[in-house]
Amino acid sequence: MRNSISRLAASIGLGASLVIGSLAAPTVAHAEGEIRIAEQFGIVYLLLNVVRDQHLIEKHGKAQGIDIKVDWAQLSGGAAINDALLSGSVDIAGAGVGPLLTVWDRTHGRQNVKAVASLGNFPYYLVSSNPKVKTIADLSDKDRIAVPAVGVSVQSRFLQYAAAQQWGDKDYNRLDKYTLAVPHPDATAALLAGGTELNGHFSNPPFQDQVLANKNVHVVLDSYDLLGPNSPTLLFATEKFRQDNPKTYKAFVDALAEAADFAQKDKAAAADTYIRVTKAKIDRNELIKLIDNPRYEFTVTPKNTYKLADFLYRVGAIKNKPASWKDYFFQDEHPLQGS
């Protein structure tokens, strides 16, 4: 099924390579002036598109008197992102709050991976083409739901959070058996075309909006209904990279803040950047309308992440209990004021 979905994605122009750029074999710690960034798919990574397009890391590096070489990679799924970070293949990882909490817990007292910043606040939708599925209580063995990474992606964690609300904490992973690891572009292509066993997708923008163009696809669950407006996707790094490369790290943080200000103030220019960098086949006016949605906010300040952290500790998915969101976020020169 996975291969058929990949072929389908390619045939209608939505397919994407799982890795773009190069992920080198693990290397020893490098000196100041180099940064390797791994992102995934969707509008939620638009701030990184702006950083890349406007060479903002390089700009802020020069302000500190250093030239910075920036390498970009694209992966699918928090598990792959976490593996790349821990292997030393990348320095900055972009993934959901679920994978961040997993790797924060796993490296607590060792590599001490923590979040650098949010990428903004966006609702994520669970969609289905099964007309019998109105709520998650209607899901059955007949349903297959695409997520970036089974069990650990933020979409999987949202589904677990919803399951715990429906059936209690002891059954939080009740729906995991219906999920499959499929990249967003491929899952979108499959649901648009139909004809595969995949009939559900827990996605992010713009993929969730594109697939709703299929009149047989409908929204089953909205992540904002679970947690309120929240920051589903974050950027994170190891403590060692932050300490060993203070100028490079600061240039990245400053670049990201500038990108957030740009994207929030000029949605049309932000849309143009997304299309230019990702080469997405999406109508410009529709994209501008989408990212101008008042439910979207491009900001580095995290919002409503701790509810998920507390839940994951409560059900035993992480062993270390964070006292607050500040436990799994670095606090830099200008401390974040989040939640």
The phi, psi pair for 46, rounded to 5°, reads -60, -35
Position 286, amino acid: E
In this prediction, residue 30 carries a pLDDT of 55
Residue type, 182: V
- Output the pLDDT for position 6: 43
Share of the chain above pLDDT 70, in %: 90
Classify domain 2-11+123-227 by CATH number: 3.40.190.10
pTM for this entry: 0.86
Pairing of strands 92-96, 125-128: unpaired
Reading the block at residue 14, the tokens are: 């939505």
pLDDT value of position 334: 67
Among candidates 172, 105, 161, 113, which has minimal Cα distance to 319? 105
Ranges of CATH 3.40.190.10 domains, the chain: 2-11+123-227, 34-121+230-328
Give residue for tokens 């920051």. Answer: 231
67-85 pLDDT, tens digit each: 999 999 988 777 888 899 9
**What is the pLDDT at residue 15?**
41
Residue type, 248: T
Structure tokens at 36: 């390797």
Q: Which residues contact 189 (CB under 8 A, 6 or more apart)?
A: 5, 8, 9, 11, 12, 14, 15
| Averaged pLDDT, groups of 10, the chain, 339 residues long | 43 39 43 90 93 98 96 85 91 93 94 95 95 97 93 93 97 96 91 89 91 91 95 95 96 96 95 94 91 92 95 96 95 74
Q: What is the pLDDT of residue 31?
A: 64
Can you give the pLDDT at residue 102? Answer: 93
> How many residues belong to the chain?
339
Measured CA to CA, the distance from residue 120 to residue 94 in angstroms comes to 12
Looking only at the bridges linking them, the beta strands covering 92-96 and 34-39 are parallel
3-class DSSP string for the chain:
CHHHHHHHHHHCCCCCCCCECCCCCCCCCCCCCEEEEEECCCHHHHHHHHHHHCCHHHHHHHHCCCCCEEEEEECCCHHHHHHHHHHCCCCEEEEEHHHHHHHHHHHCCCCCCEEEEECCECCCEEEECCCCCCCHHHCCCCCCEEECCCCCCHHHHHHHHHHHHHHCHHHCCCCHHHEEECCHHHHHHHHHHCCCCCCEEECCCCHHHHHCCCCCCEEEEEHHHHHCCCCCEEEEECHHHHHHCHHHHHHHHHHHHHHHHHHHHCHHHHHHHHHHHHCCCCCHHHHHHHHCCCCCECCCCCCCCHHHHHHHHHCCCCCCCCCCHHHHECCCCCCCCCC
Asked if the bond preceding 26 is cis, omega within 30° of 0, the reply is no
Q: 43: closest CA among 190, 213, 185?
A: 185
Beta bridge partners of 34: 69
- What per-residue confidence (pLDDT) applies to 82? 87
Residues 18 and 41: beta-carbon distance below 8 Å: no
CATH fold for domain 34-121+230-328: D-Maltodextrin-Binding Protein; domain 2 (3.40.190)
Q: Name the residue with tokens 């994207």.
A: 263
pLDDT in tens, 115-134: 999 999 999 999 999 999 99
CB distance 276 to 53 below 8 Å: yes
* Cβ contact 175:139 at 8 Å: yes
